[in-house]
């Protein structure tokens, strides 16, 4: 079955390691015939949630007219699978991805009459440290977020030992990312 796949990337670096994972993932998914949308949270303007509790008061998820979460929210609503692609920053998501996650608050408030439950999600992450334990906190947080949203974590691909741009280029993780996309 053809799926709508949304990939949200959160690296501020062009051609960063996590972004490369996303590109290969997208390639695999497209080769399988899925519809893939890539949204770059680092290049778009997603401000941190300020808890104004004005979600939906102007008909859109976020009441700030210039916040690109209002475009992203429509992609989220229509997606079957949401892929979060992030560099590991201080054992967790980059601020760019965290701002997106914070904005999902708009789907948890009483004024929301839309449901985004029952989606699948995937986490792609790159880190400088080669020790897999560096992903522990991120993984726990990701699982809690998904439980809360009513989403199912379909898979995770966590790649350590890649620090500089280009480090991932010779890594077998890129093939794994492509297979992950193809196997959806």
Q: Which is nearer to ligand FMN, 77 or 129 (CB)?
A: 129
Residue closer to ligand FMN by CB (options 13, 43) is 13
77 to 116: interface string for ligand FMN, x by CB under 6 A: ----------xxxxx-------------------------
Element (H, E) at 115: none
Q: How many residues bind ligand FMN (CB under 6 A)?
A: 19
Residue 2-21 contact track with ligand FMN, rule CB under 6 A, x = bound: ---------x-x--xxxx--
Residue carrying the six token digits 């726990």: 140
Contact region for ligand FMN (CB under 6 A) — 61-69, 126-134, 138-146, 174-182?
A: 126-134
Q: Which residues contact 140 (CB under 8 A, 6 or more apart)?
A: none
DSSP 17-85: HHHHHHHHHHHHHHHTT-EEEEEETTTS--PPP-----TTTTSSSSS-TT-THHHHHHHHHH-SEEEEE
Cβ closest to ligand FMN, residue 51 vs residue 172 = 172
Cα separation of 77 and 16, whole Å? 27
Binding site for ligand FMN (CB under 6 A): 11, 13, 16-19, 87-91, 126-129, 134, 162-163, 165
């Amino acid at each position: 079955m053809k799926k709508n796949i949304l990939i949200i990337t959160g690296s501020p670096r062009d051609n960063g390691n996590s972004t490369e994972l996303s590109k290969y993932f997208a390639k695999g998914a497209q080769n399988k015939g899925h519809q893939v949308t890539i949204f770059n949270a680092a290049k778009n303007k997603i401000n941190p949630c300020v808890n104004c509790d004005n979600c939906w008061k102007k008909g859109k998820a976020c009441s700030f007219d210039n916040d690109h979460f209002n475009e992203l929210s429509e992609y989220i609503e229509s997606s079957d699978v949401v892929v979060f692609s992030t560099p590991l920053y201080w054992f967790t998501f980059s601020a760019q991805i965290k701002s997106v996650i914070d904005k999902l608050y708009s789907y948890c408030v009483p004024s929301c009459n839309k449901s985004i439950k029952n989606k699948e999600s995937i986490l792609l992450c790159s880190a400088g440290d080669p020790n897999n334990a560096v992903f522990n906190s991120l993984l726990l947080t990701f699982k809690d977020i998904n439980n809360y949203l009513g989403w199912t974590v379909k898979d995770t691909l966590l790649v350590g030992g890649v620090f500089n741009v280009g480090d991932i280029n010779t890594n077998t993780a890129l093939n794994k990312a492509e297979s992950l996309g193809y196997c959806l």
